[in-house]
Amino acid sequence: MEFFRHCPGCGRRFHIKLENKQLVTDRIEKRRTGQVVSRRDAGYFRLGMMHSVTLLEGPPVIVDEREFQYSYKCSHCGHEWSEKHIEEKQVS
């Protein structure tokens, strides 16, 4: 696959070629979903006005988290480098 990116070697915007995509870790974890609600309190404290934060918890969700290592090569200068990316997918 080829696309445009900035090369960290030469700094130019050229075709970057994805050389390799390798799975580093694959794990499934259970997380609690939540929503943060912020409200202003009417009370003042010594250092100024404080805000109260409320966390509303939702049902648990199972998330499949995969970490990949991508290897790239610049078609202009030939510089090679790698980056890690995390892909998360909600299972249920």
In a domain, 73, yes or no: yes
Taking CB atoms within 8 Å and a gap of at least 24, the contacts of 77-85 are 77/7, 77/9, 77/10, 77/12, 79/7, 79/8, 79/9, 79/10, 80/19, 81/8, 81/9, 84/24
Candidates 78, 86, 79, 72; CA nearest to 2 is 72
Q: Quote the number of domains for the chain.
A: 1
Q: What is the pLDDT at residue 49? A: 56
Q: Whole-model pTM?
A: 0.54
Residue-level pLDDT, tens digit, the chain, 92 residues: 656 778 888 888 877 778 889 999 998 888 777 666 655 554 445 555 555 666 667 788 888 999 999 888 888 888 888 999 998 888 86
In a domain, 59, yes or no: yes
In a domain, 91, yes or no: no
Structural domain containing residue 70? 2-86
